[in-house]
Structure 1
Amino acid sequence: SGGVSPNMVLGQMPTRPALLVRLMDAEGCYGWGEIWANFPPRANLHKAHVVEDVVAPALKGFGFTTPGEVIGFLRERFSIYFLHVGQQQVFEHILAGLDVALWDLALRNAGQSLASNLGIDCRAANTYASSINPLDLEGMVQSHAGMGETGFKLKLGFNDDLDRDFIRQAADVLPAGTRLMVDTNQAWCMSRAKNMLGYLEQFDPVFSEEPIPANSDYADWEALAESTSVPLAAGENIYGVDEFLRMADAGVQYLQPDVAKWGGVTGAMELIRSLPHGVSLWPHFMGTAVGQMAALAITSLGGDQSTCEMDVNANPLRTDLCGDVLTIHDGCVDLPGGPGLAVSPVAEQLQAFQEPAFHNGELN
């Protein structure tokens, strides 16, 4: 763990926790993945215990041809178990991270990148600057505009008057040709959302992310979408292609799956194939370089219609863990040139950020 937490209505992370998983086959080839663990504190340790105690033993010696076969096997084996213990979404997080690791392993084995495996030419992914707070607004905008990024996402949901001031300040400092977007982390009720979106309309934002709770009735999402010209976005708290498509039917124009939280690579690619006309896929991500590279690979498949979230806040798990692999230029990040989804973590960095509860990568 390590890094600086953005200020969010959900609260701040005491550290920037993360959970990486490495799978190795019988020939010694390996793949890296990331399991979502931002909240609550020490979520990474809890999920690591679950992986080691419950899931990993079932994978020893398991043969497969595609990552989907493994995920299907695990769903059949453990869905009732995680239903019984009340941790179905924790199970989804674990499956997502394992799917990323399985794709990384399979691609390394095949000597291919994701793009070459799919027979397409994708060498870079579009990015936008995310999780900007008022105190660092001007500096962050200047810095990331200098890298060619044209989208800047503000964290809202604290106090409506302060949020309006923040939006106005951001609009004043954004360079020509750039646009803002906002993320409320599910904080508004319907009446507040309609009020604030009405105010936002004059600034022509790209979208408003999670203005109401993700599990609100589809009728509420539809009513909110019909009440405003501001496009709605959601996805980091949606599970399953069918649920994403229902949200699109309810008027959500930007779908934001998180490869470390639901579906991994397999789910995201299925969603891309199912996207309705007029709906865009903009992957959500706030974690380490391992998961970020997977999210960027997915983003690249959408071309100019897809842009990936990149946190602006200091986090060496993103900037240092795998070396200098996430440099932003012209608003894009180049994808790794070698086989696999991600560049492997640097051994010294992995050791430096390891939780005290671990020893040589294993739980004590």
Structure 2
Amino acid sequence: MTDDAPLILARLEAHVLRVPIVVPVRTSFGTMTSRPAVVVRVMDADGVTGWGEVWCNFPSCGAEHRARLVEGWAAEILTGRPFADPADAYRELTARARLLAIQAGEPGPFAQVVAGIDIALWDLTARRAGEPLWRMLGGASPRVPVYASGLNPDRPQDLAAERQAEGYRAFKLKVGFGRERDLENLRALRATLGEDAALMADANQAWEPQEAAEMAAAMAPFRPVWLEEPVAADRPLSDWVALARRCPTPLAAGENLRGEEAFRDAIGSGAFGVVQPDLCKWGGFTGCLPVARAVLAAGLTYCPHYLGGGIGLVASAHLLAAAGGPGLLEVDANPNPLRDALAAPVPAPRDGHLVLPDAPGLGVEPDLPALARLCGSDG
């Protein structure tokens, strides 16, 4: 295959991984008692591989369903057929999924599968080019700022202090667990981390607009950088605009938006200071990089949303490096063996930043037999 040759896949496969965890990950709408991942591997006729990841956190049985969509639906469309590039394959899958997703009532799972495959195709393409993906996509620097995310409501200051000692300088608390508890947790974080630490709050759609406005005012003394998804993501944009006018803190959202039109409307609404597409839930690189650039062109902050395994984390870092801007990479503060194993070696932050390696593609080489053993199976 030459540089201008078509992209032809010989193989497309999905692997479901799941490991139990001691401390559940808690949000206002649900709890994760294990950490799942759906890993996508693509291979061309020359044996060059690419790796991707499909979002699968909820429901707990969702990983297996999404893996079957990869192998039972997408593989038939993609394997053996020439495509000009990953974006060409993305457009074909998206078009094929449109009516089927409506019929099945599952636009989310289909979008997630397309996103994970897109990540893998871009990884393969960059490996063939011998370049790190962030550079191939137009990035200027491999250095990206990070923040520690997913701080649970039970003594979050303890975990935050550990991550601060590791080099993190920004932290995001899960809220939506009751007014007093949320405020006390913010108070404890500020006291533990100091006045210079950046704090953010994520309500995971917990409140109605009135309560959201009241909580935003109550949290203001702790100077959160943003308030994430205080209300349901599918509320009319007019509700978000009205809430933004009442909130002293910039609003953030995007992980539950899907499609170019939805992001275009959100960017143009004036409701959001921070826009957070999740490349494993929708869009992959093909969809999310143009969104990130549109966010920055509008004078807003682009921050990739991510909470999953290691391939998606590294892909999010490459996307942020390619887009540029002042945004932060979301790194789950909670232990996750699949993040560590799939992204090995995970770059350690220094003074609030990590530096991506110069290896081709995403720079990850998952060991599937070892991962199967980690998950308690023989593969």
TM-score by length of 1: 0.93
The AA in structure 2 aligned to 1:309 is E
> Could you tell which deviates more after superposition, 303-312 or 167-176?
167-176
* Equivalent in the alignment of 1:270: 290
Q: Is the 8 A contact 1:64 1:70 kept in 2?
A: yes
User: Is 1:252 the counterpart of 2:272 in the alignment?
Assistant: yes
Out of 303, 322, 331, the residue aligned to residue 282 of structure 1 is 303
Change in Cα spacing, 1:323 to 1:118, as seen in structure 2 (3 Å) is: closer
Corresponding residue for residue 93 of structure 2: 74
**C-alpha distance 82-225 of structure 1, shift in aligned 2 (>3 A):** same
Residues 90-129 of structure 1 show CA distances to partners (whole Å, capped at 9, x for unaligned) of 1110111011001001111111112332454322211101
Instruction: Tell me whether 1:83 sits opposite 2:99 in the alignment.
Output: no
**Superposition pairs of residues 138-177 of structure 1, within 5 angstroms:** 138-177=157-196
How big is the shift at 1:288?
A: 0.9
1:99 is matched with which residue: 111, 118, 133? 118
Structure number with the higher strand fraction is 2
Change in 2 beyond 3 A, CA 1:319/1:17: same
Q: Give CA deviations for 1:144-167 in whole Å, capped at 9, x if unaligned.
A: 222332211000112122112212
What are the within-5 Å matches in structure 2 for residues 329-344 of structure 1?
A: 329-344=350-365
**Per-residue deviation, 1:354:** 4.8
Q: Secondary structure at the match of 1:15?
A: strand
1:313 corresponds to which of 334, 337, 343: 334
Aligned to 1:34: 53
Distance 2:149 2:100 in 1: 36
CA distance in 1 between counterparts of 2:370 and 2:189 reads: 35
Q: Which residue of 1 aligns with 2:215?
A: 196
Distance of 1:220 and 1:322 partners within structure 2: 39
CA positional deviation for 1:348 = 4.2
> Which one of 359, 366, 370 corresponds to residue 349 of structure 1?
370
After alignment, is 89-98 or 138-147 more displaced? 138-147
2:156 to 107, 128, 137: 137
Gaps of 5+ in 1: none
Describe the superposition over 1:306-345 as per-residue Cα deviations: whole angstroms up to 9, x where unpaired.
1110001010101133422232222122213210024121
> For the residues of structure 1 that align with 2:69 and 2:277, how far apart are their CA atoms?
23
In 2, the alpha carbon distance for the partners of 1:5 and 1:264 equals 27
8 Å contact from structure 1 (residues 322, 346) kept in 2: no
Secondary structure of the 1:14 match is strand
Give me the whole-angstrom Cα distance separating, in 2, the residues matched to 1:31 and 1:132: 32
CA contact (8 A) 1:32 1:342 kept: no
Q: Does the 8 Å contact 1:198/1:228 carry over to 2?
A: yes
SS of equivalent to 2:36:
coil
What is the alpha-carbon distance in structure 1 between the residues aligned to residue 321 and residue 335 of structure 2? 24
- Count of residue correspondences: 358
Letter in 2 for 1:278: G
Contact 2:205 2:233 in 1 (8 A): yes
- Match 1:291 to one of 312, 316, 324: 312
Q: For 1:305 and 1:280, how far apart are their aligned partners in 2?
A: 7
The residue that corresponds to 1:51 in the other structure is 70
Q: Report if aligned partners of 1:208, 1:231 keep a CA contact under 8 Å in 2.
A: yes
1:17 maps to 2:36: yes
Cα separation, 2, equivalents of 1:158 and 1:288: 26
1:234 and 2:249 matched: no
Instruction: Please give the alpha-carbon distance, in whole angstroms, between the structure 2 residues aligned to 1:313 and 1:291.
Output: 16
Percent of aligned pairs sharing the same letter: 36
Q: Which runs of 5+ in 2 are unaligned?
A: 1-17
Shift of 1:304: 5.0
Worse overlay, 197-206 or 143-152 = 143-152
State the Cα distance separating 1:228 from its structure 2 match.
1.5
1:219 pairs with 225, 238, 242, which one?
Answer: 238
